[in-house]
């Protein structure tokens, strides 16, 4: 299934007609450069073009008042003076004779996107629209927004398709207060927003944008605010909040649909955000949401004012929606102190509502919400002093790396008598192994693991690895007689200097892992029911689940809160996923794991499985081919001792692994 792209140049046909410093950044070129970048890169041709349409009155009235709609209806016939007059009643927004038409097209585009995804015409998609939406409210325009496109889309999806739970992720750098007001008492819509806040000193300067606005009445817990109290936030800060705040809650919420308020003013170079996250971060933010709701994801453009980083960020997002390999994110240094404070506050504010946050720590001593709103003078001094080191428009960043699709997506190495799963390419070619290696293999295993066809298997395995690291193949599945032996070989004989770091994810218990090198060339994360205190080192991290890998709640909590942050910080060139026989891991969890691991090493994942587990080859192949993993249904509360152990493990490891920090 494909990716929808909605764009109509009619939405470029309105602009600011008078002088207003607050609104001058919201220009038609925002849409033009975004679409042109998609065309130039060939991405638009790979999408399914869906026409825009005007939202109807009844659709707009899902969110807005009749009074407000009737008032906006009059704007096409207003003189310039009347438009200025009309605009004065709202904040940081402007009207234009054609903006009502464009606002209906923007909302209608979001609804077209929902229709395309909910009817299965496409898997996911993006709508490039203006005016944006997330600030507009029941009876008011605000912050360049006229109708709340995403809020209307959420209500529309529930009404027309009976969607039970909608997740709205708002990665725009401003707080979408309009969305928050719309759903704050509604437990069927979970709204997550991060936003520049600076202790209420940043627009829209609302007390209710802080982390302690968790929702109201039956909506308590379904509104998550992560305030950024400093500028200059980087990729590490964004990923930490996804791993330690959003994703645990999103998986527990188990949405039927994901809507993204895709504002790109949170990218480097943007005059509004003044952040330092690079455009390729949006490839990963999108990827991390794509295994929710069976992949049903609708992204709707909100902000983004640096035309260069906006266009790059849009392309990064669309490329991920299309299923292309992800770029490697280099040198993630872990979240800054301010980001840790913010995520710690958000986690502690929500621990009473979400069992996946149950063991979150208390808020930091320096409770950031009570910091008095700095005096204007103090604020002024800070601004002047900090100006030069801030990420202003003058900031430069590298063009995102090309994300090339290997000629072969998924290959398999199987015994001759095992049929190759659909979509996988069986690897039968294999160069002869050096005699030295053969003898090493033979004398390492007295077992028959390396008999005649055993050597063939290993030679094919090594061939496959070589093809992965040169990007001829994206990922692969290997069935071997003895998976522990094979893992040892792969780990110890990886001579290719193209592979500097291998992330080994071992699912299920395996005794002898003591051969792990400590030079950092290999990082082993083992998830099993075994507790092995003694062996732990920086590069060997055993996670113990009391009930073993069949406990999906404990498993996904360990993946999101430990494996993902570790993987991002370690930044491997190859991921080896080893499924120990009898691990008991649930199929949907297994597919979620494979899906999430695709975020590392440009998707170069090698899955090692035992021949006698060939029954789960089909689902493994499906996940390797990029099909969305099935949702993890009705997750139970993770075992307290497991949740507690995970927090303790993170505390112990965070000195070595900065991305595990959740407390300041």
Ligand X SMILES: COCC(O)(O)CCCCCNCCCN
What residues make contact with Zn ion under the rule CB under 5 A? 172, 174, 263, 265, 303
Asked whether position 134 contacts ligand X by CB under 6 A, the answer is yes
Asked whether position 174 contacts ligand X by CB under 6 A, the answer is yes
Find how far residue 461's CA is from the centre of its chain.
31
Nearest to 525 by CA among 510, 122, 275, 534: 510
334 binds, among Zn ion, ligand X, none (CB under 5 to 8 A by kind): none
296 binds, among ligand X, Zn ion, none (CB under 5 to 8 A by kind): none
60 binds, among ligand X, Zn ion, none (CB under 5 to 8 A by kind): none
Tokens representing residue 656 in the block: 């070595």
Asked whether position 302 contacts ligand X by CB under 6 A, the answer is yes
- Smallest separation, CB 302 to Zn ion (Å): 6
Asked whether position 569 contacts ligand X by CB under 6 A, the answer is no
Q: Which of 96, 134, 135, 350 is catalytic?
A: 135
Asked whether position 123 contacts ligand X by CB under 6 A, the answer is no
**Toward Zn ion, which CB reaches closer, 26 or 551?**
26
Nearest to 152 by CA among 174, 131, 123, 175: 131
**Toward ligand X, which CB reaches closer, 302 or 341?**
302
**Toward ligand X, which CB reaches closer, 22 or 71?**
22
Tokens representing residue 348 in the block: 């502690």
Provide the pairing of β-strand 540-544 with 574-579: unpaired
Phi/psi of residue 577, nearest 5 degrees: -105, 115
- Smallest separation, CB 189 to Zn ion (Å): 20
The answer to whether residue 244 is catalytic is no
Site residue total, ligand X (CB under 6 A): 16
**Contact residue for ligand X among 203, 539, 540, 600 (CB under 6 A):** 203
- Smallest separation, CB 8 to ligand X (Å): 18
Asked whether position 265 contacts ligand X by CB under 6 A, the answer is yes
Cβ neighbors of 583 (< 8 A, separation 6 or more) are 507, 508, 509, 528, 548, 549
**Toward ligand X, which CB reaches closer, 198 or 302?**
302
Three-state secondary-structure class, residue 664:
coil
Find how far residue 157's CA is from the centre of its chain.
22
Tokens representing residue 212 in the block: 């302690």
Asked whether position 132 contacts ligand X by CB under 6 A, the answer is yes
Cα–Cα distance, 396 to 387 (Å, whole number): 16
E strand spans, 601-651: 605-610
CB atoms within 10 A of CB 43: 20
Asked whether position 172 contacts ligand X by CB under 6 A, the answer is yes
DSSP one-letter string for 484-516 = HHHHHHHHHH---TT-S-EEEEEES--S--TT-
CB atoms within 10 A of CB 567: 23
Tokens representing residue 250 in the block: 């999103």
Q: Is the dihedral of CA 40, 44, 50, 55 positive or negative?
A: negative
DSSP one-letter string for 305-345 = --HHHHHHHHHHHHHHHTTPPPPPPP------HHHHHHHHH
Asked whether position 22 contacts ligand X by CB under 6 A, the answer is yes
- Smallest separation, CB 26 to ligand X (Å): 7
- Smallest separation, CB 641 to ligand X (Å): 43
Cβ neighbors of 338 (< 8 A, separation 6 or more) are 228, 229, 230
- Smallest separation, CB 134 to ligand X (Å): 4
Cα–Cα distance, 37 to 297 (Å, whole number): 22
**Toward Zn ion, which CB reaches closer, 132 or 603?**
132
Residues in the chain: 664
**Toward ligand X, which CB reaches closer, 92 or 252?**
92
Asked whether position 135 contacts ligand X by CB under 6 A, the answer is yes
Asked whether position 263 contacts ligand X by CB under 6 A, the answer is yes
Asked whether position 196 contacts ligand X by CB under 6 A, the answer is no
Q: x-or-dash pattern for ligand X, window 87-116, by CB under 6 A? A: -----x------------------------
Asked whether position 198 contacts ligand X by CB under 6 A, the answer is no
Query: Residue 28 has what DSSP assignment?
Result: T
- Smallest separation, CB 282 to ligand X (Å): 15
144 binds, among Zn ion, ligand X, none (CB under 5 to 8 A by kind): ligand X
- Smallest separation, CB 208 to Zn ion (Å): 17
Q: Which stretch binds ligand X (CB under 6 A): 128-136, 179-187, 499-507, 655-663?
A: 128-136
Query: Residue 97 has what DSSP assignment?
Result: T
**Toward ligand X, which CB reaches closer, 178 or 595?**
178
**Residue 511 to residues 22, 133, 479, 528, 590: CA-CA distances in angstroms?**
63, 55, 20, 11, 21
Q: Which stretch binds ligand X (CB under 6 A): 137-145, 181-189, 288-296, 381-389?
A: 137-145
Cα–Cα distance, 430 to 447 (Å, whole number): 23
Which residues, 407 to 426, sit near ligand X by CB under 6 A?
none
**Toward ligand X, which CB reaches closer, 148 or 291?**
148
CB atoms within 10 A of CB 160: 13
- CA dihedral in degrees (423, 428, 430, 436; nearest 10)? 110
Q: Which stretch binds ligand X (CB under 6 A): 81-89, 141-149, 521-529, 584-592?
A: 141-149
Specify whether the CB–CB gap between 266 and 581 falls below 8 A. no
**Toward ligand X, which CB reaches closer, 141 or 564?**
141
**Toward Zn ion, which CB reaches closer, 263 or 572?**
263
**Contact residue for ligand X among 35, 95, 144, 657 (CB under 6 A):** 144
Q: Which stretch binds ligand X (CB under 6 A): 140-148, 309-317, 461-469, 570-578?
A: 140-148
Cα–Cα distance, 400 to 287 (Å, whole number): 16
- Smallest separation, CB 597 to ligand X (Å): 33
Give residues in contact with ligand X (CB under 6 A).
22, 92, 132-135, 143-145, 172, 174, 203, 263, 265, 302-303
Write out the catalytic residue numbers: 135
């Amino acid at each position: 299934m494909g990716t929808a792209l909605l764009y109509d140049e009619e939405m470029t046909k309105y602009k600011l007609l008078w002088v207003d410093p607050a609104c001058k950044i919201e220009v038609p070129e925002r849409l033009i450069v975004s679409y042109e970048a998609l065309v130039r890169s060939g991405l638009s041709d790979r999408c399914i073009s869906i026409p825009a349409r005007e939202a109807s009155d009844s659709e707009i009235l899902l969110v807005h008042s009749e009074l407000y709609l009737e008032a906006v209806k009059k704007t096409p016939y207003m003189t310039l003076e009347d438009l200025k007059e009309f605009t004065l009643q709202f904040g940081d927004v402007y009207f234009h004779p054609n903006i009502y038409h464009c606002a209906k097209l923007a909302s209608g585009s979001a609804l077209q996107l929902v229709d395309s995804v909910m009817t299965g015409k496409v898997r996911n998609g993006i709508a490039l629209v203006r005016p944006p939406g997330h600030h507009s409210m029941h009876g008011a325009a605000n912050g360049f927004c006229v109708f709340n496109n995403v809020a209307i889309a959420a209500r529309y999806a529930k009404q027309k398709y009976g969607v039970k739970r909608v997740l709205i992720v708002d990665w725009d750098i401003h707080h979408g207060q309009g969305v928050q007001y719309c759903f704050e008492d509604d437990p069927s819509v979970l709204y997550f927003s991060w936003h520049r806040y600076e202790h209420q000193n940043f627009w829209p300067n609302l007390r209710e944008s802080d982390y302690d606005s968790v929702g109201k009445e039956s909506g308590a817990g379904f509104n998550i605010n992560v305030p950024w109290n400093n500028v200059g936030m980087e990729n590490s800060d964004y990923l930490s909040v996804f791993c330690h705040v959003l994703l645990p809650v999103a998986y527990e919420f188990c949405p039927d649909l994901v809507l993204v308020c895709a504002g790109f003013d949170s990218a480097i170079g943007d005059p509004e955000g003044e952040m330092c996250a690079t455009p390729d971060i949006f490839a990963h933010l999108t990827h991390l949401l794509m295994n929710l709701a069976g992949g049903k994801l609708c992204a709707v453009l909100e902000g983004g004012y640096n035309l260069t980083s906006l266009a790059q960020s849009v392309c990064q997002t669309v490329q991920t929606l299309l299923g292309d390999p992800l770029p490697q994110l280099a040198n993630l240094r872990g979240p800054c102190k301010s980001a840790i404070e913010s995520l710690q506050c958000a986690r502690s504010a929500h621990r009473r509502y979400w069992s996946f946050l149950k063991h979150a720590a208390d808020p930091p001593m320096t409770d950031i919400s009570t910091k008095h709103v700095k005096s204007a003078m103090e604020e002024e001094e800070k601004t002047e002093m900090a100006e030069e080191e801030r990420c202003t428009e003058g900031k430069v960043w590298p063009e995102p790396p090309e994300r090339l699709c290997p000629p072969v997506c998924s290959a398999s190495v199987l015994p001759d008598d095992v049929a190759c799963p659909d979509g996988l390419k069986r690897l039968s070619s294999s160069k002869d192994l050096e005699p030295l290696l053969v003898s090493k293999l033979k004398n390492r295993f007295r077992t028959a693991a390396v008999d005649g066809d055993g050597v063939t298997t290993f030679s094919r395995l090594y061939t496959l690895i070589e093809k992965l690291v040169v990007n001829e193949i994206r990922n692969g599945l290997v069935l071997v007689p003895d998976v522990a032996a094979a893992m040892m070989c792969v780990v110890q004989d990886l001579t290719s200097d193209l592979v500097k770091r291998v992330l080994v994810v071992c699912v299920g218990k395996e005794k002898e892992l003591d051969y792990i090198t400590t030079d950092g060339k290999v990082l082993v994360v083992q998830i099993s029911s075994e507790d092995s205190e003694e062996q732990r080192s920086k590069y060997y991290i055993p996670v113990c689940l009391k009930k073993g890998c069949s406990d999906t709640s404990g498993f996904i909590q360990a993946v999101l809160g430990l494996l993902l942050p570790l993987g991002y910080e370690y930044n491997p060139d190859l991921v080896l996923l080893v499924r120990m026989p009898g691990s008991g891991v649930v199929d949907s969890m297994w597919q979620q794991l494979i899906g999430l691991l695709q975020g590392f090493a440009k998707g170069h994942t090698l899955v090692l499985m035992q021949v006698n587990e060939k029954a789960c080859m089909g689902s493994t192949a499906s996940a390797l081919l990029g099909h969305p993993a099935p949702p993890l249904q009705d997750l139970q509360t993770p075992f307290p001792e497991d949740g507690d152990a995970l927090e303790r493990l993170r505390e112990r490891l965070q000195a070595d692994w900065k991305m595990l920090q959740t407390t300041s």
